[in-house]
């Protein structure tokens, strides 16, 4: 069977990759657009959504919106992009209520399709964060989030177990679409999970399904070890989850290094789920491509 070409909802690349420093834990740096496209060709991915990284707590390299757009301009058939900003910027001195609208509207006018990866290490309910969510709703830009357990622990927007602050935000901004991503988003899939990085084993339906049922504007970014493993850990639950939320799940990779292998493992898993008829071909097509086409207006 010839499979539909995929869209990767979660990608990063560095046009300066050749001169950037290596990671602490492996001898590579953030992947270049060219190397990322080699992955895409092997994984039957037509396009990826490039996400800038602008919070200093997030990474050893900042990826500006401008550099990200430059990669898109070089390969316009292969990449789309979201823009990014950090609400702590400009927040000093007299101007303690900075207005980001003109910045984000500027990027939107240049073609940005959304906002993220939002990794600012502040509580979701912080006024600066809420203002930013409001602007994205006003500008009709979906937001991709990475969740952290507490300020000062790891990068990401901060919420408690059960994601109560996120839920309040979803209700306050009902037209804002939020793409949930990261370990602490996906540990909500199972009741039994502690807030640890990569839980495994059978899923006992957790808070995530309820959040999705109660909040139509919550979407799932199934990228990275966190999203991929949340699907792979329990194929029966995965089948149910995909069936119920087939319009709100988005295939993604989050390839950060040329040594990453997780997208190939996930590829094998998905193929088997389709072959075993645990995921219908219609839902597979929505998951790997059609939902993204709709969200991004392609």
Q: Fill in the per-residue mask, 108 to 137: x = in contact with Zn ion (CB under 5 A), - = not in contact.
A: ---------x--------------------
Q: How far is the CB of 182 from Zn ion (least distance, A)?
A: 8
Least distance (Å) between residue 105 CB and Zn ion: 24
Cβ proximity to Zn ion: between 188 and 254 the closer is 254
- Least distance CB 95 / Zn ion (angstroms): 30
- Residue 152 backbone class (left: φ over 0; alpha: ψ -120 to 50; beta: rest): left
Q: Which is nearer to Zn ion, 253 or 290 (CB)?
A: 253
**In the chain, which residue ranges form alpha helices assigned H by DSSP?**
33-42, 65-74, 101-109, 127-138, 164-172, 183-186, 207-214, 224-232, 235-244, 262-275, 281-285, 291-296
Least Å from the CB of residue 262 to Zn ion: 12
Residue among 145 and 279 whose Cβ is closer to Zn ion: 145
Q: Of the candidates 254, 255, 283, 284, which one interacts with Zn ion according to CB under 5 A? A: 254
For 201, counting Cβ atoms within 10 Å of its Cβ (0-12 exposed, 13-18 middle, 19+ buried), the class is: exposed
Is the Cβ of residue 52 or residue 199 nearer to Zn ion in the bound state?
A: 52
Give residue number: closest CB to Zn ion: 254
Question: How many other C-beta atoms can be found within 10 angstroms of the C-beta atom of residue 8?
Answer: 28
The nearer residue to Zn ion, 8 or 254, going by C-beta atoms, is 254
Instruction: In angstroms, give the least distance from the CB of 297 to Zn ion.
Output: 22
Residue 96, classed as helix, strand or coil, is coil
C-beta of 117 vs 167, nearer to Zn ion: 117
Cβ neighbours of 297 (radius 10 Å): 7
Closer residue to Zn ion (CB): 7 or 239: 7
Count the residues of the shown chain that bind Zn ion, applying the rule CB under 5 A. Answer: 2
Minimum separation from the CB atom of position 106 to Zn ion (A): 23
Output phi, psi for 8, to 5 deg: -90, 115
Question: What's the min distance (Å) between Cβ of 221 and Zn ion?
Answer: 9
Query: Of 150-158, 167-175, 254-262, 265-273, which part binds Zn ion (CB under 5 A)?
Result: 254-262
Rounded to 5°, the CA angle 182-186-188 comes to 135
Q: What is the 3-state secondary structure (H, E, C) of 191-205?
A: CCCCCCCCCCCCCCE
CA distances from 286 to 122, 222, 223, 240, 280 (A): 33, 13, 15, 15, 10
Query: Which residues of the chain form contacts with Zn ion (CB under 5 A)?
Result: 117, 254
């Amino acid at each position: 069977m010839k499979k539909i070409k995929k869209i990767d909802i979660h990608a990063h690349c560095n046009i300066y990759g050749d001169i950037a420093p290596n990671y602490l834990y492996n001898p590579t740096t953030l992947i270049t657009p060219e190397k990322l496209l080699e992955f895409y060709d092997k994984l039957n991915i037509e396009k990826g959504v490039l996400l800038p990284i602008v919070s200093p707590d997030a990474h050893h390299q900042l990826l500006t919106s401008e550099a990200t757009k430059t990669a898109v301009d070089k390969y316009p058939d292969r990449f789309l992009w979201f823009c990014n900003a950090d609400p702590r910027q400009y927040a000093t001195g007299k101007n303690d209520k900075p207005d980001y609208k003109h910045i984000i509207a500027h990027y939107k006018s240049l073609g940005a399709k959304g906002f993220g990866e939002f990794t600012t290490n502040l509580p979701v309910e912080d006024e600066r964060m809420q203002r930013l969510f409001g602007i994205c709703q006003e500008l009709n830009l979906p937001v991709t989030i990475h969740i952290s357990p507490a300020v000062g622990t790891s990068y990401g927007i901060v919420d408690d177990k059960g994601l109560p602050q996120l839920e309040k935000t979803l209700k306050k901004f009902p037209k804002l679409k939020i793409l949930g991503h990261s370990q602490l988003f996906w540990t909500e899939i199972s009741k039994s999970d502690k807030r640890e990085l990569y839980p495994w084993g059978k899923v006992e339906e957790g808070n995530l399904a309820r959040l999705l049922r109660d909040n139509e504007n919550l979407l799932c970014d199934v990228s990275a070890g966190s999203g991929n493993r949340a699907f792979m850990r329990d194929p029966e639950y995965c089948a149910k989850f995909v069936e119920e939320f087939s319009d709100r799940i988005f295939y993604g990779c989050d390839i950060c290094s040329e040594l990453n292998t997780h997208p190939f493992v996930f590829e094998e898993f998905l193929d088997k789920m389709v072959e075993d008829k645990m995921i219908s071909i219609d839902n597979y097509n929505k998951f790997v491509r059609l939902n993204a086409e709709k969200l991004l207006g392609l």
